[in-house]
Structures are given as C-alpha cells and as structure tokens.
Structure 1
Amino acid sequence: MTTHDSAGGTPPASPDSRTIRRWQRYLANERLEERVYRNLAERRRGEDREILLSLAAAESRHQEHWISLLGEHAEKRRSADLLTRCLAFLGRMFGSVFVLALAQQSETSSPYDEEEAASAEMAADERIHAEVVRALAARSRARLSGNFRAAVFGANDGLVSNLALVLGVGAAGVSNTVILLTGVSGLLAGALSMGAGEYISVRSQRELLDASTPDPESRHALADLNIDANELALVFRARGMETREAEARANRTIAAAKNKQAPRLPNLDSEVDRDELGTGIGAALSSFCFFSSGALIPILPYIFGMSGLPAVFLSAGLVGIALLFTGGVVGLLSGKSPGPRALRQLAIGFGAAVVTYALGLLFGGTA
C-alpha cells in the first residue's frame, strides 16, 4: 500500500466535506482506470498484456492510498470525472487505440502534482504511466496510420470542399437543380481525385522503399570479398556509419559469410514500416469512399428538396457536426485533447465555406 506520510504533501488532519469529495473522486477515478486497464489486458497478449496488468496494479495501489486517507468515507461511492468516464465508455465501444489515446491524455493531466494529499510516488507514477501509455498508443496508431489516415482526411476534405462548393454556387442564386448537380459533380470529381492521389502516393512511397532496400542477392558475393581490402565497409559508410565502426561491421559480416553462416547485407537506413503505409488499392478505396461520404453530407438537404436559407443552415449544421467529430477523433488519436482539435477543424471548414459563400454573393449580385 502506498502511504502518504513518506513521500509527498501532508493531508489535512480534519478534512472538510469539499476535500473529502475530492478524494472520493480520485478514488473513483483510480477504480475505473484499473478496470479499463484490466479490460484492455484481456484483449492483448504477450508483453502488452503484462504492461497493462502492471498499470492496473499501480492504480490499485493508489486506491489504497485514498482509502487510507478517507477511512469510513471511502465507503461512499462517487462518479469518476468526465474524462475517465469517457475512457471507460470508449473501452467498451471501440478499439484499444481510442482508449489508449484518451488514457494518455488522462494520465498526462493527472492532478496529483498539485494535490498536497497525494504522495510524490503517486505523482511520479502518473507521469511514468503517461509515457507507458504513450508508447502503447503509438503502436496502435501505427496499425491505423495507413488506410485510416486516408479515410479520416478523405472525409474531412469531402466535407469542406463540397460545403464550400455548394454554398458558393447557391449564394450566386442558381436553381436547386444546378446546386445539386454541382454538388454531385464535386463529390465524384473530388473522390476520384483523392483516390487516384492516395494510390499514387502510397505506391510511390513503397517504390522508394524498394529502391532503398539492399539487394538480397548481394549476400552471395560476401564470401569472395577480400577481407584486407574490405570494400564492404564502403557500403556501411555510405549508409551512415563511421569509418571504424563500418570496418568492424564489415569484418564480422565477411567472416560470417566465409563460415557459411548465410549473412545478409543489412539495411541501415531508418525504414518506414510498410504496414504503416497501407496498400495502394486500400488507401485509394478508403479515400474514395470516405471523401464521398463526407461530400454527400452538404448536399443532403438539396437531395430532399430543400432550398434557400433553410437548406444552407441545415447543410452547414450537418457538416459542422461531422467536422467536430472528425477533428475530435484526430485529436484523440494524436494523444491531445480532442476539444481544441475539433474546434480548429470546425473553424477551418466554416472559414472556407464563408469565403466561397461571400464570393457567390458577389458574383451573383454582379451577374
């Protein structure tokens, strides 16, 4: 059990009701975080599972600290704070990457540094927990960063570009048929462009990786190299090694080849994980589908026959909700607070829409 008298502040001898409620909230947070880590551990294997169980055990130790301070008041159950409840909810509903990203934010914003009743050990635990969760979250983000990146940014582009297009054309005073045709054309043109761009981007990155990967057939020449001339060292130096280190590495590699140990010529560059890139077709399809889904939202009111300002307001409102969601998701996955990222996304999207709407009014008034 973590005690409060060995490392940290000195708690009040007779805590008031406000202090008791705050400690009860800390206890509730620790209990809920322990459950979240244990639930995540049930979905993992190997080292990840052991790490998550260790985090859960640490949260259990922290509970004992607050139970010791609260005494009989520990029996009263309180709700955890909003961030911790969101953490538990996402743990039940979505994949672990969302949970770990939010857990990183929760651990980073721990109040124990400022809480006089929390021990220094507990505050240090929370800081280290944040780094542990950051590392686990990075692994999960890497698994999503290929096709998922194309999906999220494809949806964002569809939302912003088609809202701006529809509002700009609508402000010029054209008919609903023209607005709808413009919106559908923008959807198809943008989705095809995004899909083609993602395919070319991913294929190009993979081809660059292939060009930088050592030829596997070169290992057959190693056994016949002159160890005194040691030209293999030039390869290692070309890939960034210091001269002495390159020569030592080359000697070991050639010796292994002469002893029939089938060495390989290592790639010393910092490689990008191919799994993180995704596939060209997968990225293209994700980008096409999600751009289309995003671009469809601004034209929904016009599809259902609305017109004028009601259609404009409803279109902007639907897009605003979607922008808040996608911005929040990006913020969450980056390990940052989702609120500011969601608002930033909303401001950027609406900024572009306002500019095109104003231009539509201008050109419509001069036509």
Structure 2
Amino acid sequence: MVGKGDGCMAYYSGNLKLIVDWRDDVLMDFVDDLTLEQIEGELLWEEAWHSCALDGVIVPREELDAVKEIAAKRLEYSEKIIEKMLKGKISEKKLSDVLSYSFDDIKPSWAEVIRYYEVAMAMYGMALEMRENVLFLLPKLPRLIHRSLFYGIPGKEKSGEYRKTSSIEDAGVPSLLKELAPKDNIEEFMKIWSEFTRLLFVQRWNYTLDNVEYSHALFMSILPFEYGNGRVGRIIMNMLLLMAKYGNAIISSDEEEKKMYFRGLERGAKVFHEQFVSGQTLPMQLAILYQMRRSSDLIKSIVYGLADSYDILLTYYLKDKLVPLSEFVKQSGKKLSEVQRLVRSRKLIRKKIDGEWYVYSEIAPKSLEEFLGSGRMNTVEKESKQNDGAKKKNKK
C-alpha cells in the first residue's frame, strides 16, 4: 500500500500487471501478435477520441461517425496522390496541399481528432515494423509527432518546435506540471529523456510496463512543447508498448480515471523537479529515485488503458460467451458490490452494450502463482516470470 507523503515506500506493480498478461494470454487463443489492421479500427478511434478529450478537444460521440467518414475519404485520396508523387506525376508541394484536404470547412476539433488518428496509425505501423529499432529514433520522435499532429491546424503555428520560454499554453495538463516543468534548456532535457528511455529498454532495467511508465512520467514532467504535450506523450507511450508486443493503451478521459492519470503525472513532476533543480539528471539516478517514490496512479492508468484496449478485441472474439452483469452476479454467487469492483478494477473482461455491462465469466488471477496454476501460460513465456523485464513470446 502506498503512503500519501512524498517519502512513501516504493510501489510494487507486479500483481497489477497480471490484469494485462492474463488478457494477453486469452487473446492468444485467437490471434498471434497484434497487427496494425487489428488496431486501426475501433481501438485507434477510441484512443484518438479519449486522448484528444484529455487535452480539452471534445467531439460529441454522435459526431464521430461523420469524423470517421471524412478520415476515410482523406485516406483514400491521399493514397492515390502519394502513388502519383512516387511516379513523379505530382510535386511534394501539391502533396502537402492535398494532405490538408477537407480540414478547411470542418470543426477544428474534428480536424484534431482526425489528425491524431492519422499520425498515431503511421507511428504505430512504424513501431510494429521496427520494434526495438524505434529506440534509435527517440531523439527525433517528439518533434516529428508534434509537427505531424498540428501542421496546418489553425492557431497551432509552432508545430514541431520545442518551447523557448516558460510559457505553456496547454489545456491538457494539470497546472502543477506547468509550474514544475523546466523553464528553459528544453533541448537538453529532451536529450536526457531520450537517453533515459533508451537505457531503460536496452538494459531491461525493469518490467516493460514499468519502463513505459517511467518514460511517460519524465516526458510529461518536461512538457517540451507549448501545447499538445499529452497527445505527443501518449503516442510515444503506445509506440513503446507496441514495440514490446503489447497493445495500445486507451487512457480514459472519464472524470475519475482522468483524475487518477493526472495524479500519477503530478507525482512524477514532483519527483523529477527536485532532480532538475539539483542538476542530478543521470538516467539511472532518475530511474532509482522515481522507483522509490512513485505511486500506483500512473501505472494503474496505463494498465487500465491496456485492459480497455484488449477488451475491445476480446469481447469481439468472446461475444457468444458474454453475459449481462446481473446474470454473472447470480452465476458467481458474489455480491453485486463485489462484482462492480471487479468491473472497475478490470478484473473482468467487459463491454458496455446499450448502457449495460456484459462480462466474460473468467476472473483475472490474483497472483502469479494462481496465473501459473490456471492452465494458461502453456504456450508462452510471460514477462511476469522474467527477472530482466524483457517480454518474450516463445511459442511452441
């Protein structure tokens, strides 16, 4: 249990990560490694919607079908134009004009959600193809993603530029993060972040999900851009997850889960701010201190986001085995309040249909020992068993 003060004991996230490993194992009954085709539908649209909403860009759910229709037309049109450019039949300038096609006459919020979807899809395709080689691109990724997200968007004239001042006009981050973020030398702090992230993964310093958390916490403590930090940070976070053969995490913008996510970011900002001020910014120093003083909030947000992503896929494959929550209460013999806690904590694979939860009857294991004895893990060596933190799927 984590204490409330900054001097609390280190949080151990091992059993929490079983929520993801268990789902990953269930999914392997139906698919091998995730592909871009499996991600680019509902999973990616849900991520785009929530990630933009976390940054204050709200698109009503009833407008999302119209947004998707515009995105589909843009994709079809741009693919034809890119083919022409590759054949020398169109200039790069014309291509740039085309890629801004259909943004002029729609709501700015629609444009930002569409752009997030397009950029995330491109970045995730790169991560799935390059795997660990993505780590070599870390110094360039933040500015590339930021420019791709905001180029041509009205009012976003500084796309792809690290901030030069202490000014942060970012509606998507808590005020405490803005207060504690470095005021200058952003370029140097981002070099520290990229080296920090690379070392965590290359040296397999911790379990993969922990390394992703540490990297995201440091990125969001720096806030390298005047705006859009959350969206850039979450795309990079998911690239690291996909690189390691997880899915993309859908960090929820629902109020209670948003508060939990922001609390986790605030804890990271407090920890790293002290190191920024003291100049003690060696990567392993940062990692050790963060490990000692982290809370459960940020890793829980990432785990829950992954669980929600997996559930979109799993409830498709398990659709014939889903039962209403009220029916599961009767079958399990558990109290309604206990089952509701299982739903909130992602101990059940779940899907909301017409306002009612439907669930798969299997409950997530409480411990690694229970997981190992459940009859699962017979086709894969899971990350939870490994001391070096590397996730390897060695299928028979």
TM-score (norm 2): 0.21
Greater strand proportion: 2
Greater helix proportion: 1
Could you say which structure has the larger radius of gyration? 1
